[in-house]
Amino acid sequence: MFRQQRVEYKSADQIRTMRKAGIVLAGALDETVAAARVGVSTRELDGVFAAVLKEAGATSNFLGYHGFPASICTSVNHEVVHGIPGDYVLQDGDIISIDGGAVIRGWHSDSARTVIVGNPRPEDVRLSRVTEEAMWRGIAALATGKFVGDIGSAIDDYVSSVEGPALGILQDYVGHGIGTQMHQPPDVLNYRSGHRGPKIKPGLCLAIEPMLVQGRLETATLDDDWTVVTVDGKRASQWEHTVAVHDGGIWVLTAADGGAARLAELGVTPVPLL
């Protein structure tokens, strides 16, 4: 995992194209999240997402990826990542992570959100809230840090500081570089380690995606060869944004406001490329 690999740095124009893919993706997730209600199947959610991409002239970078059969991943309750949409019908109190991507003119975006359906359990609200806030702490570290490893340290420090029952940060699944491919170097760890990673510099584009669990860190992959679940059956949450570094600062490409509202709380001002 830790060997240095060549990082693809993007020009300002390439980042602008990735922003277009990010805006389409944000809109598709908006509609998919709104459709996530009791009685709706995960296959129906996949259809909502795919329709938005088609109308926008974008394509899914998930569909067909190493044979993946859908445009989004829908991971419900103890499913952590890579859940395949299907016949499962959402129930009251379910927690579901919806992960998707969009491609425009060969440039990729990737983002995920957690949704609680119907009447939420307080512990699930906390899990999703902490995971989302951990993501924003990692994004803020991209703006202020020197090395990619600073992102994981910021995420780890925040999660460890939260009062109440401890939440686990998965280590087997991490964030990644993104650009002409959905998954590129470097790995973006969600935990503190001795690995600094590449220097943070203009042109770097990353998908920052912490995954937290309410129980132990052990996971298993189901017989479909995709769906990753917690071994102890405890629930999980995933949040993700694609973020670019450029000469003027950082820009959250998959957030409609570029990350302005949430980053302001952390003393960071994102800078769009006009």
Residue 195 annotated as binding site: no
Residue 225 annotated as binding site: no
Contacts of 214 (CB under 8 A, 6+ apart): 123, 127, 165, 167, 168, 234, 235, 236
Residue 66 annotated as binding site: no
Cα–Cα dist 50/63, whole Å: 10
Residue 78 annotated as binding site: no
Residue 246 annotated as binding site: no
Query: Are the CB atoms for 95 and 76 separated by under 8 Å?
Result: yes
Residue 44 annotated as binding site: no
Residue 240 annotated as binding site: yes
Closest CA to 58 of 45, 68, 41, 71: 71
Contacts of 206 (CB under 8 A, 6+ apart): 142, 148, 151, 175, 176, 177, 178, 186, 188, 242, 243
Binding residues for substrate: 82, 183
Binding residues: 82, 99, 110, 176, 183, 209, 240
Binding residues for a divalent metal cation: 99, 110, 176, 209, 240
